[in-house]
Amino acid sequence: MDTVSDIFTRFGGTREMARQLDLSKSTVDSWKRARQIPAQHQPLLLKRAADLGVDITAEDVIFPFPQDRERAS
Q: What is the pLDDT of residues 12-42, one digit of tens each?
A: 999 999 999 999 999 999 998 888 899 999 9
Q: Which of 8-12, 58-62, 68-72 has the lowest mean pLDDT?
A: 68-72
pLDDT at 1: 45
Give the start-to-end residue ranges of the domains of the chain: 3-72
Question: What DSSP letter does each residue of 46-72 carry, written as one string?
Answer: HHHHHHHT----HHHHHS-SHHHHHHH
Q: Say how far apart CA 56 and CA 6 lie, in whole Å.
A: 9
Averaged over 37-63, what is the pLDDT? 92
pLDDT of residue 36: 86
CA 25 to CA 18: how far, in whole Å?
Answer: 5
Fold of 3-72: 434 Repressor (Amino-terminal Domain) (1.10.260)
Kindly state the average pLDDT of the residues 33-59.
Answer: 93
DSSP 13: S
Question: Rg for the chain (alpha carbons), in Å?
Answer: 12
Distance CA 1, CA 8 (A): 13
